[in-house]
Amino acid sequence: SELTTEDYQSFYKELYPFNEPPLFWIHLNVDYPFNLTGILYFPKIKQSYEIQKDKIQLYSNQVFVTDEVKDIVPEFLMLLQGVIDSPDIPLNVSRSYLQGDPNVKKINNHITKKVADKLEEIFKTDRAEFESKWESLGLFVKYGMMTDDKFLEKAEKFHIMQDARESKFYTLEEYKTAAATLQKNKDGKLVIIYATDPVQQDAYIKAAIDKGYLVVKLETIVDAAFINQMEMKWSDVQFTRVDADITDNLIDKQEDSSTVLSKEQEERLKKLFEQQPSGLHLTVEVKGLSPETAPVLATRPEFMRRMKDMSAISGPMGSFYANMPDEVTLTVNGNHPIYQQILSVGDEQKQEKLTRNLADLALLSQGLLKGSNLTSFIERSVDLMKQ
């Protein structure tokens, strides 16, 4: 009660002289059923690669014991920094001792509760401040929700998701209230639509917003794993990336749509679009979308794309998925007026060039047009402009 903010910050400066000031801290002071004092700091993390573990030091009566505190501090809080002092832990501490001592388990549970209570308190008393620090806080919260079910129960109250276009944030309950009317699929599950790169996925986000959908941003290093875990832990919730399908299909409502084209014209279009670049596993489908929707859309199936995203952080096993060709669905909008013009062109070679360019534009929007395929697209575009 006698310490000031400056006291805590100057102590942090002594411990970590080259770090930026911490977001906030938790002062632990317990005398029953075990003795424990300590200060845990939440560091400011601007980039995911700045995450560092083993920054908490353990003391016994002010004598340094170890900075390997894995069993004392919950795994997800290993990202925190600070010091803990407990006379109940002997100086000759061993890993097997820590794993077997009942006091250690109690300390672990106590720290989890204190952290959850502190985060909930900040969220309730100063939500704007909490939201401004979410870029760093989100890593701790999501990691905790994935690895600790007790923390998950408490964190559901203060875990937030940011709107992909605005600075607005939503808890899960707030998202449900705002999106449940339009974003329930045929199985009654709430579909949370998310973006991993709002700049690259801008066209898809705009199309989803125009349809009345709510798109949130999930773009950190832990989000791919977080999404998979929460789909198992949250009942009746499903995550779908905004570019995983055409906007009409993001929420699976089993609605059918027909085109203004004849069957023969649809088949002709399908054959034209199937002649696409190598290095991709392409599926082509012709659907009747709004005439204002783009003439062709490239989407990557949610499951395979997730596996490839996870492969970036999952070591050798992930390389199996990483080396697989990208699965892409080209959805041809049969109701777009451009196809009436293309199909009326007598020159088959020109038809192929025009459809190839439309497909390349769609692939380019997904970052899937590279190397020689990109070069061919540029050359072909210039050639078409001459005609």
Q: Which amino acid is at 136?
A: S
**Residue 95, pLDDT score:** 53
| 313 has a pLDDT exceeding 90 | no
**Residue 49, pLDDT score:** 44
| pLDDT one-digit tens code per residue, 115-142 | 999 999 999 999 999 999 898 888 889 9
Distance of alpha carbon 360 from alpha carbon 374, whole angstroms: 8
Find out whether 305 and 241 touch, Cβ atoms under 8 Å: yes
Buried b (16+ CB within 10 A) or exposed e, 27-42: ebebeeebbbbbbbbb
Least confident of 85-89, 149-153, 235-239, 256-260: 256-260
| pLDDT one-digit tens code per residue, 340-353 | 888 888 888 888 88
| pLDDT one-digit tens code per residue, 3-62 | 999 999 999 999 889 888 998 899 988 887 778 899 999 888 765 544 555 578 888 888
Task: Quote the pTM value.
Answer: 0.72
The percentage of the chain sitting over the pLDDT mark of 70, rounded to a whole number, equals: 85
**Residue 179, pLDDT score:** 92
**Residue 162, pLDDT score:** 95
- Residue 346: count other Cβ atoms within 10 Å of its Cβ: 6
**Residue 63, pLDDT score:** 86
- Residue 383: count other Cβ atoms within 10 Å of its Cβ: 11
| 264 has a pLDDT exceeding 70 | yes
Q: Find the DSSP H helices in the chain.
A: 5-15, 95-100, 102-125, 127-132, 134-147, 149-155, 172-179, 202-210, 223-233, 263-274, 302-311, 316-322, 338-344, 348-365, 371-386
| pLDDT one-digit tens code per residue, 192-206 | 999 999 998 998 999
Q: Report residue 258: phi and psi, to 5°.
A: -110, 160
